[in-house]
Amino acid sequence: QCVILDYGSQYTQLIARRVREQSVYSMIVPGDSTLERVTSYKPRLVVLSGGPNSVMAEGAPTVPDGLFEYCASEQVPVLGICYGLQLIVHSLGGEVVAGETREYGRMEVTTDLKSLLYHDEHSDKQMVWMSHGDVAKTLPDGFRVVGRSSTGAVVAIEHAERRIYGLQYHPEVMHSERGVETLRRALFDVAKCDRSWDMQSALDSQLATIRTKIGNTKHAVCALSGGVDSAVAATLVHKAIGDRLHCVFVDNGLLRYKEQERVRQMFKEHLHLPVTIIDASERQLTKLKGVSDPEKKRKAIGAEFIAIFQEFAEKLERDLGHKAEFLVQGTLYPDVIESCPPPGSGQKHSHVIKSHHNVGGLPEKLGFDLVEPLRWLFKDEVRKLGLLMGVPEVFIKRHPFPGPGLAVRCLGDVTAEPRALDVLRDVDEIFINALREFDLYDQIWQAFAVFLPIKSVGVQGDQRSHKHVVGLRAITSSDGMTADWFRFSGDFLAEVSNRITNQVSDVNRVVYDITSKPPSTVEWE
Ligand code: XMP
């Protein structure tokens, strides 16, 4: 219902989120999409996002050819935000100039309560979040100013008849105190969108799409990682095609404490989803013998995973008498959004896919058609969808776990010390259980233990000991890209340290990692 043309703002995804929070389906397409692409979605509202460029710069992104004509003839309203407002002004014959002062941050604006964007406000003053250098100097014919900053700059414009609106500030960020209400008026009072998007309708439409794509006879495979995304994707596809979905879970010997049993129990007993569990730990650990370079470890694990998956697919083909044609992946919306490249990079819009996004990085050349049922969802929406389908909450709220597993938490050669992985699993389990017991788990983005390849001197039971050192890491983050270490109370850390040294006899020293990312990374390798 709402198509957002992306001009590279860091807030574009947030606009999409805010619209969906109003139960209106939104999608993001690159700013240089063709008109056909935009119109193929039959939008009720077109939003032009912000962006880092200046509309006056040579080669600055512009609207798809014919967009305004299409919107006029089909009566589709347009809302430009920040760069989007300037695009409207510039494209329709007004003038945009470099502002005398750049306006950044929170500021008060005065709005015209006669505009549909503000008509049921109780006051014509509100605080908004501004971030721009250019300003609209003269408006195109038929437009009028409906909001000004305290310095007199144009911050909101409208052409009520053509239903074209522009906001120089960012209504989607929470610092714009009544921004969401303004967006709501654009969606419902201006564009007459329906509140038809919710998780149940997303679920129903996804089931129909999957059934159409896979059909009534074909088979699909899915590699489960033990993480939320692959679990929700598999549950969804299983609902759509039943046991024609074949899931595989590879235990590569680098998993958390009792992970194989937990995954088996959850999928087979709780979700009734058949899973082939392959115990490849010996095979994987043999391949890791003597490998201590972190990137070589990652590559060895990825390559082995692909080999195991391929063997699983070949066996399945022999059993079925034909090949499974589809591969289900838990790719999420933020992983696939086509975004604007940085200004001046000379690149065209690129299809950005995070390298970590799919289980084991299965290459497309394996010859499957991809089914990515979560491609339109954000992480919290995936969690809601999982809950709606009966995936247990403890599973849904699990911290992220890296593909190479404990290998990146057991520094150096993971086979050098025969008990290293077991020690690491025991310590990690004690730490995670304590987080749950003290109600801290959900406040933390990711927490885990690290096994260090060193020993230190201690004193245990009147005797000197020479045993292992383990590190604990707990971070807060919104996406794993930047992170801060979690401030535990001293009492909590003391309790965890006691439990670890009392229960895991190989460890006599526990350290807590107090570095943020950057300069550190989340993982130790
Ligand atoms: P770093 O250590 O790069 O981690 O700060 C950021 C996030 O990514 C996870 N991570 C990985 N995930 N394969 C994965 O699937 C990997 O090789 C990998 N390395 C790091 C890490 O756990 C954190 O959530």
- pLDDT tens figures, 303-314: 999 999 999 999
Residue 186 in marked binding region:
no
Residue 480: pLDDT band by 50, 70, 90 thresholds? confident
Residue 347 has pLDDT above 80, yes or no: no
Residue 505 in marked binding region:
no
Residue 350 in tokens? 């690129």
pLDDT of residue 353: 38
Residue 157 in tokens? 């414009």
Residue in this structure with the two tokens 């303004």, named with its chain if needed: 182
pTM, rounded to two decimals: 0.79
Distances (CA, A) of 160 to 92, 145, 164, 409: 15, 11, 7, 59
Active site positions, annotated: 82, 170, 172
For ligand 1, what atom is nearest to the CA of residue 521?
Answer: 5
Q: Give the closest residue to 99 by CA, choosing from 135, 148, 129.
A: 135
**From 410, 522, 524, 525, mutation site for ligand 1 pocket: most ligand atoms within 8 A of C-beta:** 522
Residue 54 in marked binding region:
no
pLDDT of residue 180: 96
Residue 298 Cβ < 6 Å to ligand 1: yes
Residue 342 has pLDDT above 70, yes or no: no
Give me the mean pLDDT over the 365-386 stretch: 89
Least confident of 18-22, 265-269, 359-363: 359-363
Q: Is 243 exposed, middle or buried (0-12, 13-18, 19+ CB in 10 A)?
A: exposed
pLDDT of residue 99: 81
Residue 354 Cβ < 6 Å to ligand 1: no
**From 293, 332, 356, mutation site for ligand 1 pocket: most ligand atoms within 8 A of C-beta:** 356
The full set of domains in the chain, from first to last, is: 2-190 (3.40.50.880), 199-396 (3.40.50.620), 408-512 (3.30.300.10)
pLDDT of residue 337: 57
Q: Are 173 and 179 in contact (CB under 8 A)?
A: yes
- pLDDT tens figures, 275-300: 999 999 999 999 999 999 999 999 99
Residue 344 has pLDDT above 50, yes or no: no
pLDDT of residue 135: 87
Residue 348 has pLDDT above 80, yes or no: no
Ligand 1 centroid vs 240 CA: distance in angstroms?
A: 31
SS (H, E, C) 219-250: CEEEEECCCHHHHHHHHHHHHHHHHHEEEEEE
SS (H, E, C) 109-172: EEECCCCCCCCCCCCCEEEEEEEEEEEEEECCCCCEEEEEECCCCEEEEEECCCCEEEECECCC
Residue 229 in marked binding region:
yes
Residue 231 in marked binding region:
yes
Residue 517 Cβ < 6 Å to ligand 1: yes
Q: Give the closest residue to 449 by CA, choosing from 484, 399, 483, 377.
A: 399
Residue 302 Cβ < 6 Å to ligand 1: no
Q: Are 412 and 257 in contact (CB under 8 A)?
A: no
Q: Whose CA is nearest to atom 9 of ligand 1?
A: 402
Residue 28 has pLDDT above 80, yes or no: yes
| Rounded-to-integer distance, Cα 202 and Cα 54, Å | 37
- pLDDT tens figures, 399-430: 999 999 999 999 999 999 999 999 999 999 99
| Rounded-to-integer distance, Cα 224 and Cα 233, Å | 9
Give me the mean pLDDT over the 435-453 stretch: 97
| Rounded-to-integer distance, Cα 474 and Cα 506, Å | 22
Residue 50: pLDDT band by 50, 70, 90 thresholds? very high
Residue 400 Cβ < 6 Å to ligand 1: yes
Residue 521: pLDDT band by 50, 70, 90 thresholds? very high
Q: Whose CA is nearest to atom 12 of ligand 1?
A: 402
Residue in this structure with the two tokens 């957002």, named with its chain if needed: 4
Distances (CA, A) of 262 to 246, 249, 255, 390, 404: 18, 12, 11, 16, 19
* HSE of 228, CA atoms in CB hemisphere, 13 A: 24
* HSE of 198, CA atoms in CB hemisphere, 13 A: 5
Residue 227 in marked binding region:
yes
Report DSSP state, residue 399.
P
Ligand 1 centroid vs 402 CA: distance in angstroms?
A: 5
Give me the mean pLDDT over the 153-166 stretch: 96
Q: Whose CA is nearest to atom 18 of ligand 1?
A: 402
Residue 356 has pLDDT above 50, yes or no: no
pLDDT of residue 101: 75
Three-state secondary-structure class, residue 472: strand
pLDDT of residue 220: 98
Ligand 1 centroid vs 482 CA: distance in angstroms?
A: 12
Three-state secondary-structure class, residue 178: coil
Q: Give the closest residue to 132 by CA, choosing from 174, 154, 102.
A: 102
| Rounded-to-integer distance, Cα 517 and Cα 168, Å | 33
Residue 262 has pLDDT above 80, yes or no: yes
- pLDDT tens figures, 185-200: 999 999 999 999 999 9
Report ipTM for this prediction: 0.98
Provide, rounded to the nearest whole percent, the portion of the chain with pLDDT above 90.
80
Residue 479 has pLDDT above 80, yes or no: no
**From 523, 524, 525, mutation site for ligand 1 pocket: most ligand atoms within 8 A of C-beta:** 523
Q: Are 286 and 308 in contact (CB under 8 A)?
A: no
Ligand 1 centroid vs 380 CA: distance in angstroms?
A: 19
> Residues 429, 453, 461, CA angle at the centre, nearest 5°?
70
pLDDT averaged over every residue in the chain: 92
Give me the mean pLDDT over the 39-44 stretch: 96
Phi, psi angle pair for 170, to nearest 5°: -105, 100
Q: Whose CA is nearest to atom 10 of ligand 1?
A: 402
Q: Where are the alpha helices (DSSP H) in 379-450?
A: 379-388, 393-396, 420-437
Give me the mean pLDDT over the 18-42 stretch: 94
Ligand 1 centroid vs 523 CA: distance in angstroms?
A: 6
Q: Are 181 and 193 in contact (CB under 8 A)?
A: no
Residue 444 in tokens? 């933390």
Residue 336: pLDDT band by 50, 70, 90 thresholds? low
**290 alpha carbon, distance to own chain's centre:** 35
Residue 105: pLDDT band by 50, 70, 90 thresholds? confident
Residue 398 has pLDDT above 70, yes or no: yes
Give me the mean pLDDT over the 267-281 stretch: 94
Residue 230 in marked binding region:
yes
Residue 349 has pLDDT above 70, yes or no: no
**Is the peptide bond prior to 400 cis by the omega test (within 30 degrees of 0)?**
no
Distances (CA, A) of 487 to 5, 139, 176, 294, 499: 40, 52, 30, 28, 19
Ligand 1 centroid vs 408 CA: distance in angstroms?
A: 9
Residue 236 in tokens? 């969804």
Q: Whose CA is nearest to atom 19 of ligand 1?
A: 402
Residue 327: pLDDT band by 50, 70, 90 thresholds? very high
| Amino acid, single-letter form, for residue 507 | V
Residue 340: pLDDT band by 50, 70, 90 thresholds? very low
Residue 521 Cβ < 6 Å to ligand 1: yes
Residue 341 has pLDDT above 60, yes or no: no
Ligand 1 centroid vs 441 CA: distance in angstroms?
A: 19
